[in-house]
Structure 1
Amino acid sequence: MSESASPSASAAHDAVVAAALDLFAEQGFEATSVEQIARAAGVSRSTFFRQFGGKDDVVFADHELLLDMLRDYLGRTHENPWIAVRDASIKVYRHFAADPELARRRYAVVRQVPALRDREIVSVFRYERLFDEYLRHALPGLDPLVAVSFAAEVTAIHNHVLRRLIRETKRVPPSVLRAALDESLERFGVHPDGSVEHPDDVVVAVFPRRMPAAEVARRLRSELPG
């Protein structure tokens, strides 16, 4: 959910999404009209189009809000860009985990409509591209292959845990995703626990061989005085 949205605006937005998903489930996506959605949600047709654009946009409205939120979050200064990407993924997961039933209803609609499945693939790629572009900007000199690989792995792990949340009846808390993403950080040799605790006039640092050179440089700059 967008951090800038007011509670009343968020509630109105959620009401339209919920009404649309109910209708899609009852009578099918293709058979449901915008007029029916607007009437069920208690809004005018013009208000619906102003907020969403089309009925397929209702299904993916949360993604637009979340991507805007992440652009704002990643646009800030972060001490550790790798952790910023991890935390961005967790922010998205927390949104869906807050109402898993709604996420399950959305998933059921998308699964039944090929055009929506195709659009979902595009939505997933937008997260991956955002993470990739952020890392390249935050870590000048980072091998583009490393950036895109990490972005793809974070996105894939996120989607795997999210599917567990949707398909299972028991809780899948954000801590499950965080643990999996921390393992990914370790595989890339950039886990935050590797910082130097007692810097002195002479610094001897040992880094994993697999750690990207740009991350080695970033850590050395953060530890050396001046």
Structure 2
Amino acid sequence: MVTTEQASIDASEFRLHVASESLRLFAERGYEATTVDDIAAAAGTSRRTLFRQFGSKEDLIFADHESLLDQVAEHLASAVDDDDPWWVVCEGAETVFAHFADNRDLAARRYAVVSQVANLRDRELVTALRYQRLFEEHLRRTRPDAPPARVVAYAAAVTAVHNYLLRQVSRGDADATAAVLNAELRRLWETLAER
């Protein structure tokens, strides 16, 4: 019998596998030249399953982000009263960074493909805004008296620092590490967080 946790892990692994295979093919053949049938064959699944699970060819590239957004939302929701909500946001960013730092090849392939296709660059910006929105919603819920501009500035700053270092990871910069991210987030937390 498959437990809910096992099913969740399997779904997350499947999304990562599909993202990895689609990015490999896009890097080898080009985004436009790669068909959904090619990706389905490489991922060991059917075209129908891909469309049912992901919706479009564009969605395949960002498939792992859906799982990551869910993980971040769960992390934010599971914070307890004793947790500093401003730092919990930083931990959410660190969760996303860890995924890509552990999968540097995937991050590099995505960067190579996305940087060459305008609509994928736009989609990447929208994805970053979805993380930022999660951070803002968490802070509004847990710190309703915080100035709205501070909430937005903090969430945007955390997202921007994370994205900058993630882009460095994608470019192969070995100095872009979780420790560097943590140090930069700590500076933001010390400077901007309302305590």
What TM-score do you get using the length of structure 2 for normalisation? 0.90
Task: Provide, for residues 56-89 of structure 1, a one-character-per-residue CA deviation record: whole Å limited to 9, x for no partner.
Answer: 1011111111111111111123321011001111
The aligned length equals 189
- Secondary structure of 2:146's counterpart equals coil
Match of 1:141 in 2: 145
Match of 1:34 in 2: 36
* 2:97–2:166 Cα contact (<8 Å) kept: yes
Match of 1:200 in 2: none
Match of 2:26 in 1: 24
Q: Give the 4+ runs in structure 1 shifted more than 6 A.
A: none
Aligned-partner residue type, residue 67 of structure 2: L
C-alpha spacing 1:11/1:185, structure 2 compared with 1 (3 Å): closer
Task: Provide, for residues 14-51 of structure 1, a one-character-per-residue CA deviation record: whole Å limited to 9, x for no partner.
Answer: 33222211221122111211111111222111111122
Give the C-alpha shift of residue 179 in structure 1: 0.3
Task: Provide, for residues 163-210 of structure 1, a one-character-per-residue CA deviation record: whole Å limited to 9, x for no partner.
Answer: 12111342532111000000111212x4xxxxxxxxxxxxxxxxxxxx
C-alpha spacing 1:82/1:11, structure 2 compared with 1 (3 Å): closer
What TM-score do you get using the length of structure 1 for normalisation? 0.78
Structure 1: distance between partners of 2:84 and 2:17: 37
Map 1:98-137 → 2, pairs under 5 A? 98-137=102-141
Identity score, percent? 47
Larger Rg belongs to: 1
Aligned-partner residue type, residue 58 of structure 2: D
Q: Which runs of 5+ in 1 are unaligned?
A: 191-211, 216-226
- Secondary structure of 1:179's counterpart equals helix
Q: Which structure has the highest helix share of the two? A: 2
Map 1:55-94 → 2, pairs under 5 A? 55-78=57-80, 79-94=83-98
For residue 49 of structure 2, the aligned residue among 47, 50, 68 is: 47
C-alpha spacing 1:115/1:82, structure 2 compared with 1 (3 Å): same
Cα RMSD of the aligned pairs, angstroms, is: 1.7
C-alpha spacing 1:154/1:4, structure 2 compared with 1 (3 Å): farther
Q: With CA pairs under 8 Å and 6+ residues apart, which has the higher RCO, 1 or 2?
A: 2
Aligned-partner residue type, residue 74 of structure 1: L
Match of 1:95 in 2: 99
Structure 1: distance between partners of 2:164 and 2:12: 27
Give the C-alpha shift of residue 12 in structure 1: 3.2
Aligned-partner residue type, residue 162 of structure 2: H
Structure 2: distance between partners of 1:184 and 1:167: 24
Aligned-partner residue type, residue 31 of structure 1: A
Aligned-partner residue type, residue 130 of structure 2: R
C-alpha spacing 1:80/1:5, structure 2 compared with 1 (3 Å): farther
Q: Which runs of 5+ in 2 are unaligned?
A: none
C-alpha spacing 1:89/1:5, structure 2 compared with 1 (3 Å): farther
Structure 2: distance between partners of 1:170 and 1:77: 32
C-alpha spacing 1:26/1:50, structure 2 compared with 1 (3 Å): same
Task: Provide, for residues 115-144 of structure 1, a one-character-per-residue CA deviation record: whole Å limited to 9, x for no partner.
Answer: 000111111111111111110110121110
